[in-house]
Amino acid sequence: MQVRPDVLFSVANFPVTNAVAATIISDVVVVLFVLAINRVVSLEPTPLQNAVEMVIDYFIKITEEIAGERASFICPWVLSFFIFMLISNLIAQLPGFELIILKMPMSKSCNKVPLLRAASTDLNFTLALAVISVVVTHYLSIKCAGIKAYFTRFITFRIFPVFLFVGILEFLNEITKIISFSFRLFGNILSGERIMATMYGIFPLGLPLPFMLLEFLVAIIQAMIFAMLTLVFMHIMTDKPHTI
């Protein structure tokens, strides 16, 4: 079973994979979606604006509940993660998304490769989002709690060497966050994709339908989990560390 995405072609030494193609499609959809919203935005909302407002309002409220006054810094990031991940995951659930097959004589793995592949099934994509999430969390931590409080979280000589060890664990925790963020999303979406491919292979008429619904749910839930975890980590990191 191949885990890595297939390279479709290269542009100036940059390998354009089928996951990158799906990412670009997601980008286009996001931009069109934003433009569509921006054109109709008014105090008397259209049904589309209403739906988006509902989502944004939900995120604003939940961020304010968790992070309080720091919500204005945190919410745009959490919302961006959710919307981008949701759209890229949902696009991959469209029937026939991976059915456009290209014949690639230059491909090392096989001759036939799908033109598109879910962006979240590329570890580069999930890892990039995870790294951005963690780096932005640290940036907001310095911005909100101050640089001294930020470093105190990792290096402190109180009750030596207990808190020094706790600091090392905190540091390891940050690395673990990246790994858990990236592999959770990657694993869930990739496994869903493989299940769908298997179901299509067994009996394409009807059998994939319940799994499509399940994957549809997984796509939404994974985007939500990523956004919520980012929110919680940002809240924890932007909060001033508790002293004994």
Partner 1 sequence: MEITQKFGLEVKLFLFQIVNFLVIAFILKKFLYVPLKKILDERKSKIEKSLLESDSAKIILENAKKEKEKLLFEAKNNAATLIETARVSIVEAKKRAIAEAARNSERILDDAKQRAAEEFEIMNNQVEKMSIDVSKKIILRILSDLFSNDEKQKLISRALKKIDEKIKN
The distance of closest approach from Cβ of residue 66 to partner 1 in the complex, given in angstroms and rounded to an integer, is 17
The distance of closest approach from Cβ of residue 152 to partner 1 in the complex, given in angstroms and rounded to an integer, is 29
The distance of closest approach from Cβ of residue 128 to partner 1 in the complex, given in angstroms and rounded to an integer, is 3
The 3-class secondary structure across the chain, one letter per residue, is: CCCCCCEEEEECCEEEEHHHHHHHHHHHHHHHHHHHHHHHCCCCCCHHHHHHHHHHHHHHHHHHHHHHHHHHHHHHHHHHHHHHHHHHHHHHCCCCCCCCEEECCCCCCCCEEECCCCHHHCHHHHHHHHHHHHHHHHHHHHHHHCHHHHHHHHCCCCCCCHHHHHHHHHHHHHHHHHHHHHHHHHHHHHHHHHHHHHHHHHCCCCCHHHHHHHHHHHHHHHHHHHHHHHHHHHHHHHCCCCCC
The distance of closest approach from Cβ of residue 165 to partner 1 in the complex, given in angstroms and rounded to an integer, is 29
Closer to partner 1 by CB, 37 or 62: give it.
37
Using CB under 8 A, list all residues that contact partner 1. Answer: 3-5, 13-15, 17, 20, 23, 27, 30-31, 34-35, 37-38, 41-43, 45, 49, 52-53, 56-57, 60, 75-77, 79-81, 83-84, 122-125, 127-129, 131-132
Closer to partner 1 by CB, 107 or 124: give it.
124
Closer to partner 1 by CB, 22 or 218: give it.
22
The distance of closest approach from Cβ of residue 132 to partner 1 in the complex, given in angstroms and rounded to an integer, is 6
The distance of closest approach from Cβ of residue 41 to partner 1 in the complex, given in angstroms and rounded to an integer, is 5
Closer to partner 1 by CB, 21 or 219: give it.
21
Residues sharing a CB contact under 8 Å with residue 164, sequence separation 6 or more, in sequence order = 155, 156, 157
Are residues 238 and 70 in contact, defined by beta-carbon separation less than 8 angstroms? Answer: yes
Closer to partner 1 by CB, 153 or 177: give it.
177
Closer to partner 1 by CB, 87 or 145: give it.
87
Closer to partner 1 by CB, 20 or 118: give it.
20
Structure tokens at 5: 């995405």
The distance of closest approach from Cβ of residue 40 to partner 1 in the complex, given in angstroms and rounded to an integer, is 11
Instruction: Compute the Cα dihedral for 98, 101, 102, 105 and give only its sign.
Output: positive
